[in-house]
Structure 1
């Protein structure tokens, strides 16, 4: 099950003895542990690292009876024994044995940053008899809903527009939650607005590249040149940008030639091995171009790449020339065609 379903079920059911969490969203792992701590009435979380500490210290914590409290919540990070990278050994054997006979009144949370568990392993099969939770990046509607809840639980006063902008810029629950904590400190007692996010949260390179390509496709020469200068300051390689622009132009050409009802945009996206949203954007951009312009621009980019790689042209200058040719072709259908 996913981490949000697991957290919802924590409030409805008794705590399990063992939880196995995997995925790239480290922040969601910490959020899950905090929720277990709150619901179970634990006073603290004992934390260990499987790669550095093995399982012996965690096992000792789970088996030791406290004079002050019989409850123990233990979190073991980097549990690579459950992945294809992990090797067998005494720690893995001890963990597998614990899966068979977990300590009563204790809760063990294991986590690993991995896309999947190695289900061929005996230890993983033993782990799957307990609660296995996937901590991956959710889709936008679920992410926005959970970020609002995260803000409410921590008493953060933040607008929906600010949360939307934050997600658009970051696209990761872990990073969003970290940035929300920083924004809360920055805003003090006032409400966090979208302008705060725009001022404090850096845009990703991918976001900047998308905006740059969109400016080119919209025929906005000045905006495209300004965006290109920003990407240059970030150290983006002109040849890499040229390749991205060529890819977008090919997608526009595909949408132009096959978007006549014979195939849906989703079918085109599948054939081109791209996300359906990317193909829908390309189809919209293609409306500003004649097909012969797209074909000519594709050839021009290929020629420019060839010249740059052989030292005949400056990469930045070649990219700016292509940019202006593409933007000019998009700016008006009545303008002179690219020669």
Structure 2
């Protein structure tokens, strides 16, 4: 089940003996533990790290009973034993034995920051007898916005829909978005958070900055392109890194051009669907052969910088001029 189904289930049933949370959205792990504390009669939350502590300290707490009737929630994070790279051994055997016969009236929460579990491991098979909860980054924007809206409501954060949309566009992560809530609330001062607040306070990711940058380039807005370039330079991004990001985006545009199923194409090439949808929109102004030529131009720019034939900033400026020239030509052809 996903994290939201699990949260809904907590209000209608007693907590399970064991929960295994896995996925890239680590911020949701703490949210789930907070929801458990609110909906069940736990006296406290005890945290352990599997990589640092193993499972033994958590097991001692789970198997100990208080004379005062205290019932702590035991949370073991970083449980890498469930992944292909995780170590086996005595601690893994100890955890497997507990999963086979967990203590009654006790609840153990395990978490691992991995979207994929190692299904071959005995400990994973035993964990699947209990509640396994997915906390992955949503692949579709509408799903992400629905989840983000619910997270904002749960944390009593008032946000306009446009602000939520802009926050997701800039973070592309529920965890990163939730981390911005406190700052945005303080800035808004009690009023609903507006889109302008997000634009002023939440920095764009590097790729997102490049999306905006290329958007201007494909429209032939040379001045905006070079103004944005100056801004990226002030943020500390060197010219060679920007060439690589630009080359990656143009390759995505070439891959997305004419694609009938963006979701399937994104899965085939291991990229986020949002990035490929943006690339598909940007590619609309270009012919396929123009994109192929730009891919070669940027590959040559990278090669020339690595061989010392061109300085990185000169190679970047030449590549940008090629891109904006191709965009201007495409616009003229489309107008005709």
- Shorter-chain TM-score bucket reads 0.7 to 0.9
Number of residue-to-residue matches in the alignment: 331
Match of 2:305 among 305, 308, 325: 308
Match of 2:318 among 294, 317, 321: 321
Larger-Rg structure: 1
CA apart distance, 1:291: 6.2
Pairing of 1:35-184 with structure 2 (within 5 A) = 35-138=35-138, 139-184=140-185
Unaligned runs of 5+ in 2: none
- Structure 2 equivalent of residue 201 of structure 1: 202
- Shift of the 288–154 alpha-carbon distance from structure 1 to 2, 3 Å rule, reads closer
Pairing of 1:146-295 with structure 2 (within 5 A) = 146-249=147-250, 259=258, 264=260, 266=262, 269=265, 273=269, 281-289=278-286, 293-294=290-291
Distance 2:188 2:278 in 1: 36
1:72·1:105 contact (CA, 8 Å) conserved in 2?
no
- Shift of the 283–70 alpha-carbon distance from structure 1 to 2, 3 Å rule, reads closer
**SS of equivalent residue, structure 2 residue 11:** helix
CA apart distance, 1:89: 3.0
14-23 or 325-334, which moves further after superposition?
A: 325-334
**SS of equivalent residue, structure 2 residue 181:** helix
2:18·2:109 contact (CA, 8 Å) conserved in 1?
yes
Question: CA RMSD, aligned part only?
Answer: 2.9
297-306 or 38-47, which moves further after superposition?
A: 297-306
172-181 or 147-156, which moves further after superposition?
A: 147-156
**TM-score, normalised via structure 2 length:** 0.86
- Shift of the 94–238 alpha-carbon distance from structure 1 to 2, 3 Å rule, reads same
CA apart distance, 1:178: 1.1
**SS of equivalent residue, structure 1 residue 48:** strand
- Structure 1 equivalent of residue 8 of structure 2: 8
- Shift of the 296–146 alpha-carbon distance from structure 1 to 2, 3 Å rule, reads closer
Distance 1:334 1:53 in 2: 61
278-287 or 141-150, which moves further after superposition?
A: 278-287
- Structure 1 equivalent of residue 328 of structure 2: 331
Distance 1:298 1:325 in 2: 11
Distance 2:273 2:238 in 1: 27
